Chains A and B, each alone.
Chain A
């Protein structure tokens, strides 16, 4: 590797030496490769969306939302899976959001840089990137095996473990952005610390915290692996969280691996629904953040 001598080329712009030409060529090459890389990534994204739309849209019928899953050829829908997904995601956020919020408050307001807080922060990050199938395996061992049956509750519990670390992270980050002067103003008015945190800091940061909750919803709504061993899936209409419960991702997984035309069609339409839902939440959040900042 020869280091290019910048000054030489700059001093003699007229007579393009071999070195200058080489440097220009290398720059062109790198630029070209960079364009290529970007185009490949965009092409793949386009390919995924195109495949989803092309295969998913034809199956978008009313009966998909009104009928429960059924045997191939009987004209079943995905109603129970959609409702199951909503229920389990909803419950997981009800469980995970308060825990994540409180942990985030602990990290931002009480723990700061103490040893305990640093450990909690690190462990929370570990949970954030823990393989989701292990979360499912864990919940199976604690909530399914001892009770002897799969259940919607255990599915929601597994999802809540995935939602919580996201909310912890955003809550802490957002609380740290709240100006100290606001806290001081609250304390100067004689408010107790917990009131200052809950009614001033959290309220000031509520937009950011909501963002975290939305991102958590978007993440867990599409998760399959943690549900395989916990809520298992259920082809019948069921709102009982104590029994096995259907969910869209698991239904997609079951149907996509099948050999039946109508099941495959529903798998694609289900995949389209999940993706569109998740992407809409993400776009709303990102556009909202940008709008809020500027």
Chain B
């Protein structure tokens, strides 16, 4: 591409050298900036791993399988916060996916266009609200509701049922895994809805119309035409939401309850990797084993979130390739 612009004017050497210099300089500049992005990510990974090295070498592989987090005895393990991260994100997704799917279905199939764009925008605005606001809302609005209504009711109803009683045991503090899951659900619903709406809309209209032409109801079109067609994109959007939920710090820190404990109870306080880092970091002096353990947890969180992003990209790219082929 460069050559075609430069070659015809090679008869005038002085001007050309200067012009070519400008191009080479600019090219080098943008390539270097691009490479610097790679260096930043490389540096983040290096810093996390070397920072956590002390913990990895002190506890060995045991770091990954120990559920103890005890600053007094200087014994740290990753299992409790990893469990909290996965459990709260899983709960969040279980709540968020039906809501997002229902909203996306409503936006694409049921709503009048004018209202659809307004509600669609409102949902997108929800995605822009800073995460600390969700944390405050969760702590001051959701936690009292959980403590006064949801938890006592749940214990009253399921407290004596053999298996379910384990899920609802514990004091009704209002904070805990389920509350964190609810706040995370509210946070990831907008992004999952947006992805779902986009993949639903990207389906060729003729497919949708032929199904309607055969007399299918709106739900049948969604269930048997749109959903099978856009499955990969939908899953990609869900995985993307999961990545966001697992890395979320502020919203979770307010409502998770801060306890390094693993249990079946939905109402038990817990910790995620991100909330543990936010809460314990101020009490971790530089160079301490605790700080190193937090960095090691950071490395684990980074690995988890990169894997989920990678998976979601593959799924979304496949969905897009399919959209390109069919349309």
Chain A interface size band reads 35 or more
129-165 of chain B: CB within 8 A of chain A: 129-137, 139-141
Q: Which residues of A are found within 8 Å of B243, using beta-carbon distances?
A: 129
Interface string of A128-141 (1 = CB under 8 A from B): 01111111011001
Least Cβ–Cβ distance between B117 and chain A, in angstroms: 8
Contact indicator B247/A131 (Cβ below 8 Å): yes
Interface residues on B, range: 35 or more
A37 at the interface (CB under 8 A from B): yes
A278 at the interface (CB under 8 A from B): yes
Binds B, one of A25-33, A66-74, A238-246: A25-33
Measured in the bound complex, the distance between the Cα atoms of B274 and A75 in whole Å is: 34
The answer to whether A27 and B220 touch across the interface, beta carbons within 8 angstroms, is yes
User: Is B217 within 8 A of A24, CB to CB?
Assistant: yes
Complex Cα gap A286–B224 (Å): 33
Whether A51 contacts B274 in the complex (CB less than 8 A), given A38-B106, A102-B30, A225-B249, comes out as no
* Complex CA–CA separation, A283 to B219 (angstroms): 32
User: B186 in the interface, Cβ–Cβ < 8 Å?
Assistant: yes
Residue A106 at the B interface, CB < 8 A? yes
Within 8 A of B (CB), among A95-131: 99, 102-103, 105-107, 109-111, 116-117, 119-120, 122-127, 129-131
Taking chain B's interface residues, is the majority helix, strand, or loop, or is none over half, making it mixed?
Answer: helix
Question: Which B-chain residue is minimally distant from A24 (CB atoms)?
Answer: B217
- Please tell me if the beta carbons of B47 and A225 are within 8 angstroms of each other in the complex: no
Partner of A6 from the list B37, B131, B214 (CB cut-off 8 Å) is B214
A16 within 8 A of B: no
Stretch from A57-65, A76-84, A203-211, A248-256 contacting the other chain: A248-256
From B54-62, B120-128, B201-209, B230-238, the one touching the partner chain is: B120-128
B140 to chain A, nearest CB (A): 7
Which among B48, B137, B224, B246 has the highest number of chain A CB atoms within 10 Å? B137
What are the interface flags for B97-109 relative to A under an 8 Å C-beta threshold, 1 for contact and 0 otherwise? 0111111011101
Of the candidates A7, A105, A252, the one whose C-beta lies within 8 Å of that of B132 is A252
Say how far A37's CB is from chain B's closest CB, in angstroms: 2
When A30-B222, A279-B129 are in contact, do A110 and B30 touch as well, CB less than 8 Å?
A: yes
Residues of the A chain whose Cβ atoms lie less than 8 Å from the Cβ of B94 = none
Pick the interface stretch among B76-84, B260-268, B305-313.
B305-313
Tell whether, in the assembled complex, residue B38 and residue A119 are in contact, meaning their CB atoms are under 8 Å apart: yes
Q: In the assembled complex, which residues on chain A have CB atoms less than 8 Å from the CB atom of B199? A: none
| Chain B contact residues, CB within 8 Å of chain A | 1-2, 4-5, 9, 19-20, 22-23, 25-27, 29-31, 33-38, 40-41, 43-44, 47-48, 51, 98-103, 105-107, 109-111, 119, 121-126, 128-137, 139-141, 186, 189, 193, 214-220, 222-224, 240, 243-244, 246-250, 254, 274, 277-278, 281-282, 286, 294-295, 298, 301-302, 305-306, 309, 313
* Contacts A/B (CB < 8 Å), 5 sampled: A102-B29, A103-B37, A134-B301, A256-B139, A271-B133
